[in-house]
Structure formats: structure tokens, C-alpha cells
Structure 1
Amino acid sequence: MMMRLVQIANGTERRVAIVIEPELVLLSDVRSTYILARRALELQKDITALAQSLGSDDVLRYDEVYSGKSSWRLLAPIDVPGDPQKMLVSGTGLTHLGSARERQAMHATAGTVQEEIDEAKMTDSMRMFEWGRRNGRPAAGSIGIAPEWFYKGDGSVLVAPGGALTIPGHAEDGGEEAEVATVYVIAANGTPHRIGMTTGNEFSDHVFERKNYLNLAGSKLRQCSLGPELVIGQPFEDVRGHVRVLRGTETVWEKDIRTGEENMAHSLANMEHHHFKFAGHRQAGMVHVHFLGADALSFGSNVRLGEGDVAEVQFDGFGRALRNSIRVEEALTAPVQVAVMR
């Protein structure tokens, strides 16, 4: 059964709600999707059945919450209230053909992308993508090749739907990356459980990365956004979406995008294996948010996001669009000072 959940807050009060358009049906007795998922594991009950059993008579108009006209505001659809360090936010790159070609073009030193598909002329990025295309979808029960992996931060990097994604003062750029992200919780016995999936804007510093592909790790240490909805039970074979960048009332860039396993070099099972094969990623009670890669970037079309721009991402079957404005911090002009303990 497919279900869409949101987290909302009104001052210090928090609730979880089931999306039944055009309304939000508030759940009783749970303040977060994290608590809901943990309880489902403890009771050995389907999370959708548990959520339905907790449905209340309290209903809100989704339009009012989504548009900011309600005293209730949308939160990221998953978090660990009061303990953001119990969440690990990461991602897998070079999973979509579009992203691989843009990365190849970003890092190429000569010739066109088509010319450099030749093995001898490939960048390391394109070579890694080709490895995935050849052995990223192993037969059931087999292990395929490892995809690219990157770390973004703990739960403190998550920005709520409608919130501003900040280009920090030390950054050289900040660009949207329209993706689907998977959400997991680790059971008491160390088994990872996928709760569901959500729309995501992974956000990255592509100018810094373009200088040298070894800058990738640092380029990913940025904020990101999820939601507004956590979707449970949604098929992930062929997912179509749309991403656009708004500057005032003008759309300065937009593109139809596709994700899902049919459009990816790696299967979801292979990506999950290579993420959770590490014992440190299977600590009881932890939450993992893992971005699955982008199909297209406005940066690839020479668009640079600036103060007040809005990035909008929407995928069919994943609920309402994720919208985030862009905020630019004042440039960092002095080094961070480290105090020495005596």
C-alpha cells in the first residue's frame, strides 16, 4: 500500500500527518516519522498499517500549510528530533547517464564528450560510470561493482521544504541537484530497513568540484533539502520529473528529468548493499538519508544560482513539489580560528 507522510510543526508542537489530498490527516501519539518507524519495528507491524491505526479526526488543509498561510509549517519529512547526529546524510553519484555526461564534460581537458568516451581518453568519472553500467546491476544474490559514494553531513544539514539553501561564505558556488533520496532506519539487531523515498535537492558546489574531481568530497559538504512528503511503497522503476530555477517571476532554466532503476546504471539493491556493507552504517537507531543521483543540473547549462533564486523539484508519484530559495552568505575573509587547550 502506498502512503505519503509529512511532518509539521506549530511552535513547539509537532505532528505527523497522512497526505490525503487536499487534506492532511494528523496522527495521534507520534511526534515524528522517526518514532513512527521505530514503533513499527518494535511492534513488528507494517508502518502504513500503524499510521492508519493512529489516524485522528484532526484535519488540516494541505494548501494552507504548503503555501505558508497556516500557523503550521512543513518540516523535512524525516529527522531525529533533538539528536541530529543520529542521522547520516550521504549519496551516490554517477548513477544516471545525464549526470555522467555532465561530470565528464566538467572534468574533461580536451575534446568533446563523445570523443572522450574512448576508453583511453576517459576521465576517471566517466570510467567509473562505465564500470557501473557494465556491472552495477548484478543478478539477484550477487554483488556488483561499488558506485561512487559521498558524505554530506548529519541531520543538521537538512533544510525544510520552503526554506533557504545557503551558499556559505567559503563556497565558490551552490547549485541544485534534483534527486530522489531513500530513507532508512536501523533496527535494534542492526538490520537496515527502508522506510520510503522522498524528493530531494542535494545541492553542491560545482565550481569548486570542476577545478579538480578530487574536490568532490568537499563540494558535497553543504545543506540539502527533502520533501515535503515521505512516500512509502512508491514504485521506483521509471520515475519522471521536472526541475526548474526561478528568478523572480522568470523561469531561467528548466528540464524534464527521469530517474528510477530503468534509467540508472546501478540497481537500488546494489547501491544499498555497498552503503550498508560497512558495519558503521548499521548502528541501531540510526537514520540514513541517501541521495540516488541526478539526471541533469542547471550548472551544466551555465546557470549560476544567486540570492533569491528558487529551485523547484517535482517527481511523479512523490507528491507536491519541493521548493527552496537560495541565500548567499557574505564571503569569508578571515580564517577560522582554533583555540588551543592548555
Structure 2
Amino acid sequence: MAMHLVQLGSASARRVALVEEPHLRCLVGAASIYELALYCLEHALSLGEYARSLATGEVLTYDEVYGGNSEWKLLTPVDVPEEPSRLLVAGTGLTHLGSARQRQAMHLADAPKADVPMTDSMRMFEWGVERGRPAEGEIGVAPEWFYKGDGSVLRAPFAALEIPDHAEDGGEEAELAGVYVIAQDGTPWLVGMAQGNEFSDHKFEKRNYLNLAGSKLRECSLGPELVVGAGFGDVRGEVRIERDGSVIWQKSIASGEENMCHSLANLEHHHFKFAGHRQPGGVHVHFFGADALSFGDGVVLRDGDVMVVAFEGFGRALRNVVREVAKTAQPVRVRSLA
């Protein structure tokens, strides 16, 4: 049975808690899921069994924490508190059967109707359909890959996701993400999965697909719950945008291997094949892609909008507000140390 964990913070302390709806049962002696994972790797323990053995602490009311009426606040379900640079946030795109159609339409929106070429994005998607699910022991085609930042870009549930002053836009991407820790021998271990909002700049990307890399260098959010032992077959959910208390856009979403052109094993291989991604003690948050975007339906998010991501079996909904930073005409100046 899957186990759900959350990380909590107060003005002076941190905790890990086991979700036992409608309560949170605190783990004794555990301040982070990261330290729990490292301990389990060092002592060859099951994370699920070890966490349950520690779940003998204070019992909190989940509604109070989730509603912001407690001294305890939800944190991201994984972090490296003292060294955020040890955490790498990345992802793969064009993985879902619905994602390529939106990308193709986005890049060809201004093209003459009589001239609709196949974009590089669609080619990459078709390669995934043909060779993204290799047989056991074989290696399939590489997916699209992107880098988002280190642990400093992760934002907690209910926190604002900023559209920076240099950005053209900001848009939600409702996804599932894998959380991995690297053992001392360089082996990647899956700790669990969480729902996430892989926030990015679709308007900047639309100008030219080569802008994809820059469009992804944005804040993102994860949680509230890390699901240990999560199923990843056919995962259904919903994403919506709320403005001034009303829903202005919503859509059903589908993730998991049954709805993707790449297998999970293939995505994991092509991320961890790089030696630099297998540094002992490292943490990886890897987004697996989305199949529905409000931007694809012409929605432009603005300051104060609330983005809501909810996947069945992954706990309470992830909510974040859009925060638009005032534009500035001042360039970043580099000083010389000569």
C-alpha cells in the first residue's frame, strides 16, 4: 500500500509527518525526508517500513495545516535544507500522447493554413511513439530533456510562483514528478512521486522552439504529499485556474505510462545515464511531462490567479498563486574583478 508523507515547518522547527486522513502523524526524530532516505540507503531499510516505525509522535489536524490555521506550514515534500544546490530539478517533455498536439499547434499558430510542416517537436514525439517503450534490458530513444534549476527554484504548496521581470508569460504545467536520491555507490533510488506544477514561459517558447531551455528556468512547485510506492499506470486528475474566486478554466488530465509514449524506465535511463547525475548524496526532482495546458486554450494567466493540480491517489490538491514581478528596463551588470 502506498504511503503519503509531508514535510512541515514552523518558525523554529521542521517535521516529517505520515498522512492518515484527516490527520498528520509526526515522525519522531525526523526533520526531513532527505535524511530519512539517506539513513535507509545506508542501513538497507525500506523507507515505508522505517517511516511507519517512527510515526509515534504528535497528531495534527490536516485541515488546519492545509488551511493555514496552524503554526505548522506545508513545505515541499523534498528538499536539502542546508545545501539546496545538491538538488537538481529537471524534466522530460513530449512524453504524453496529448502533449505533442498542443506543442505543434502552439508553434504553428501563425503559419499559413495551406503550409503546415512537421515541426521538430512533432518529429521527436513520433520517435518516442516508435521507440520510447523498449523491451526489458534494451534502451529506447532519448526523450526531450530540460533543466529547471537547483533546489532554490522549488516552492511549497500555496506559495507564489513568480513571473520574473524578464519573462513574457507564465503558465501552469500539471505533472507528476519522481523524487530520487543517489546512493554512495552512484545508484539512483526512487524515493517516491508527487504531483507538481512545472511552471514555465510558453509565450517565450512559442517564438521559437529553441527558446525552450530558457523558458523552463522558472520556479515550480511540488506536493503537498510525497507518495512512496505510488502506482504509475493510468493516473487521472484535473487542473484548473481560479480567478477572483471563480474557475475560469479546467481540464481533465491523464498521466502514467498508459498515457505516455515513453516508459518510465526509459525516461529514468536517459536522465541517469549521465555520470554527473549520479553524484552520491544528490537529489533529483524529475517532471514527467503534461498533456494539458491552459495556454493551449488561449488563457493568459495574471497576477493573483490560483493554479490547482489534483491527481487521483496523490493526496490533497497542489495550489499556487501567480505573482507577476514589475517589469524593469535595467540590464544585469557584471563587474570586473581585474
1:205-244 superposed matches below 5 A:
205-244=201-240
Amino acid at match of 2:12: T
Three-state SS of the structure 1 residue aligned to 2:93 is: coil
Q: Is the 8 A contact 2:242 2:249 kept in 1?
A: yes
Structure 1 residues 111 and 96: alpha-carbon distance in aligned structure 2, compared to 1, 3 A threshold: farther
Offset from partner CA, 1:9-60 (integer Å, 9 cap, x none): 1112000000000000000111000001001101100000110111123100
CA distance in 1 between partners of 2:237 and 2:335 (Å): 48
Aligned residue type for 1:99: S
1:168-200: CA deviation from partner (whole Å, max 9, x where unpaired): 000000000000000000000000000010000
Partner of 1:131: 127
**Is 2:19 aligned against 1:19?**
yes
Q: Does 2:82 correspond to 1:82? A: yes
Which runs of structure 1 show a deviation greater than 6 angstroms over 4 or more consecutive aligned residues? Answer: none
Shift of 1:246: 0.2
Query: Unaligned regions of 5+ residues in structure 2, if any?
Result: none
- Give the aligned partner of residue 2 of structure 1: 2
Partners of 1:200 and 1:126 lie apart in 2 by 25
Calculate the TM-score normalised by the size of structure 2: 0.98
Contact 1:198 1:227 (8 Å CA) reproduced? yes
Q: CA deviation at 1:107?
A: 1.2
Note the 1:96-245 alignment, pairs <5 A. 96-108=96-108, 110=111, 116=116, 121-245=117-241
Partners of 1:288 and 1:22 in 2: CA distance: 30
The TM-score with structure 1 as length reference comes to 0.97
Does residue 45 of structure 1 match 2:41? no
CA distance in 2, matches of 1:55, 1:285: 25
Once the two structures are TM-superposed, the CA of residue 332 in structure 1 deviates from its matched residue by: 2.3
TM-superposed CA distance for 1:112, in Å, is: 6.0
- Aligned amino acid, residue 198 of structure 1: A
Q: Deviation string for 1:68-104 (max 9, x for gaps)?
A: 0111000000000110000000000000122111100
In the TM superposition, what is the alpha-carbon distance from 1:159 to its structure 2 partner? 0.5
1:105–1:112 Cα contact (<8 Å) kept? no
Match runs of 1:322-337 below 5 Å:
322-337=318-333
The alpha-carbon deviation at position 259 of structure 1 amounts to 0.4
Letter in 2 for 1:128: M
Residue-pair matches, total:
337
Question: Aligned-pair RMSD on alpha carbons?
Answer: 1.1
Structure 1: distance between partners of 2:68 and 2:312: 23
3-state DSSP of counterpart to 1:215: helix
Specify the alignment match of 1:278 in structure 2.
Answer: 274
Q: Are 2:28 and 2:57, in contact at CA under 8 Å, matched by a contact in 1?
A: no
Q: Deviations over 1:230-275 (max 9, x none)?
A: 0011110000000000001111100011000000010000000000
